């Protein structure tokens, strides 16, 4: 088994502006990949999530083209929040490319636009795949005939959109009203919806994005998808578009998830397409069990995203989930 190399960088999407509408849209990225470099004596420390056993700026393991996994974090998170999975995949020979979604990532100040315009995330992954393959380090090293995508929470929505699911805000509003779900926003930005009127009046970047929410973001390079604890915005997908999906889709959940309850999210997806594969990892597994450990260990048990049921060992759940993902990727 290879060691795990790790590096970060930035690409820009010339086809879309940033939310300030004064430059190209930034896509900060993190990459995990197989390497044979000797491990460092000193392990790097993550900004918020632990980085684990990685080797900064290591060389790629061979000269052959490697399979790719695109990674999408949850709302307000970072690619490193699911680094446990990225490391496991890299050690098995995959290049894992994680996008940090502009305005909706902990690497930047939160912006209402980033929390409202979920669909832009899918385009981030497509642009990242196209752009990073042109960089000196990854040039001619990515096998674009073997591309998969994995997303956690809102990242689950993201990879489903990338596979061909189509968004309808009308569908989402109808579900929200029927389910008595408040409009405001996720707990990371609970009043995001209060900004819609003002942004519509003042932000050209927001108006352009809002108008294309129902666009087709399919990336035909994609061969399979894994959605981990897919979040409520999956209810914005039209049932017809879910039913038409032919790609292998695997969904992982925990029965103790109160942020993205399976009965509202994952179970609905599965009910729309009998080709989807659903794995529930246990009745004590919560939403945030799928996040990596914090770099500051004092946060364990003190912050909700690092607090699990007493019967749960987060590392064991990660190992179980990683094995399922590896099988799903083939």
Q: How many domains does the chain have?
A: 1
CATH code assigned at 186: 3.40.50.1820
Q: What pLDDT shows up at residue 44?
A: 63
Residues 298 and 249: their CA atoms lie apart, in Å, by 37
- Under-70 pLDDT residues of the chain: 41-46
Q: What pLDDT shows up at residue 183?
A: 73
Residue 124, number of CB atoms within 10 A of its CB:
27
Maximum Cα interatomic distance, the chain, rounded to a whole number of Å = 56
Helix axes 120-132, 154-163, angle to 10 degrees: 70
Q: Which domain holds residue 10?
A: 3-329
Q: What pLDDT shows up at residue 265?
A: 98
* Residue 260 · residue 230 · CB < 8 Å: yes
Q: Is 137 exposed, middle or buried (0-12, 13-18, 19+ CB in 10 A)?
A: middle
* Residue 82 · residue 325 · CB < 8 Å: no
CA dihedral 297, 301, 307, 309 (to 10 degrees): 130
Q: Is 318 exposed, middle or buried (0-12, 13-18, 19+ CB in 10 A)?
A: buried
Q: What pLDDT shows up at residue 38?
A: 84
Q: What pLDDT shows up at residue 282?
A: 97
Residues 41 and 291: their CA atoms lie apart, in Å, by 26
């Amino acid at each position: 088994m290879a060691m795990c190399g790790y590096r970060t960088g930035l690409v820009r999407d010339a086809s879309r502006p940033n939310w300030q509408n004064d430059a190209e849209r930034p896509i900060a990225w993190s990459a995990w990949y197989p390497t044979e470099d000797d491990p460092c004596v000193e392990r790097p420390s993550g900004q918020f999530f632990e980085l684990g056993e990685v080797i900064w700026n290591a060389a790629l393991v061979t000269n052959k083209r490697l399979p790719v996994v695109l990674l999408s974090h949850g709302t307000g998170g970072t690619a490193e929040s699911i680094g446990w999975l990225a490391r496991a995949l890299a050690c098995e020979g995959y290049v894992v490319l994680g996008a940090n979604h502009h305005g909706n990532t902990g690497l930047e100040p939160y912006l209402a636009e980033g929390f409202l315009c979920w669909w832009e995330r899918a385009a981030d992954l497509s642009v990242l795949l196209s752009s990073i393959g042109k960089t000196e380090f990854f040039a001619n090293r990515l096998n674009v005939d073997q591309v998969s995508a994995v997303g956690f929470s809102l990242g689950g929505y993201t990879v489903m959109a990338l596979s061909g699911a189509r968004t309808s805000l009308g569908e989402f509003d109808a579900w929200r009203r029927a389910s008595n779900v408040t409009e405001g926003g996720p707990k990371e930005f609970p009043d995001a919806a209060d900004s819609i009127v003002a942004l519509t009046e003042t932000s050209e970047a927001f108006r352009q994005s809002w108008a294309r929410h129902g666009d087709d973001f399919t990336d035909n390079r994609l061969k399979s998808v894994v959605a981990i604890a897919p979040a409520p915005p999956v209810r914005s997908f039209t049932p017809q578009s879910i039913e038409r999906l032919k790609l292998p889709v695997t969904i992982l959940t925990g029965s103790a998830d109160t942020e993205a309850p399976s009965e509202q999210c994952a179970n609905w997806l599965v009910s729309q397409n009998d080709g989807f594969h659903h794995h529930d990892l246990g009745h004590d597994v919560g939403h945030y069990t799928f996040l990596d450990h914090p770099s500051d260990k004092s946060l364990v048990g003190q912050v909700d995203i690092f607090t699990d049921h007493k019967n749960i060992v987060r590392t064991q759940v990660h190992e179980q989930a990683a094995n399922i993902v590896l099988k799903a990727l083939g």
